[in-house]
Amino acid sequence: MRFDQELIATMVAPQSRVLDIGSGDGSLIDYLSRQKGCDAQGLELDMKAVTQSVAHGLPVMHGDADEVLADYPEDTFDYVVLQRTLQAVERPREVLRHMLRIGRSALVSFPNFGHWRLRWHLMRTGRMPMTAVWPTPWYETSNIHPCTIYDFFALCAEDGYAVRNWMVVNGDKRSRVAERSPHLANLLGEQALFLLQKGR
């Protein structure tokens, strides 16, 4: 399991109901159901990954988050997880809205476009930045909605989501320095992880 997935797992209460959007190979829901007794389901767009997950006994539904999240009734889950996918969905704001409609809490991780290396790259070369976290050229990337940590805080405020917790992940560890303030996080954080709830 990736480090950011381990962090997500620590934030999920045992025995809870979880939907993992973009569940990939299913390692997070597998961990949550085996180690924490959760009722964890996945939603995944890549059919190969879906087949692989179901073949491993994991409940995964094939579908596109932009389309099928609207199906689920309110408060179906305790947590709805979106890992490194927010920037790739067609309507991120709608997806977030549905996450907090169908779940009591939302766990969202995304790569931070405000990181200093990207800013420096753009300023120095005048070209779209490419880094380990943002590895594909602009004409091929599936990341159609990049945002910064600031942007995300602003959207949460605008749509009335309470930020219950947030963390910064650089490589394979948390960056305590960056977590000192949103300003530092926006500058020094490669990835961010947010725990949101409805209401301010």
| Binding residues for other proteins (CB under 8 A) | 25-27, 30, 34, 39, 41, 47, 50-51, 54-63, 68, 71-73, 76
* Identity of the residue, 4 or 30, whose beta carbon is nearer to other proteins in the bound complex: 30
Q: Which of 166, 159, 9 is nearest to 97 (CA)?
A: 159
- We find the least distance from the C-beta atom of residue 104 to other proteins, in angstroms, to be 14
Nearer to other proteins, 41 or 148 (CB): 41
Nearer to other proteins, 49 or 187 (CB): 49
Minimum separation from the CB atom of position 28 to other proteins (A): 11
Q: Are 104 and 195 in contact (CB under 8 A)?
A: no
- Report the nearest approach of other proteins to the CB of residue 27 (Å): 6
Q: 85: closest CA among 73, 74, 69, 71? A: 69
Nearer to other proteins, 22 or 182 (CB): 22
Q: How far is the CB of 100 from other proteins (least distance, A)?
A: 16
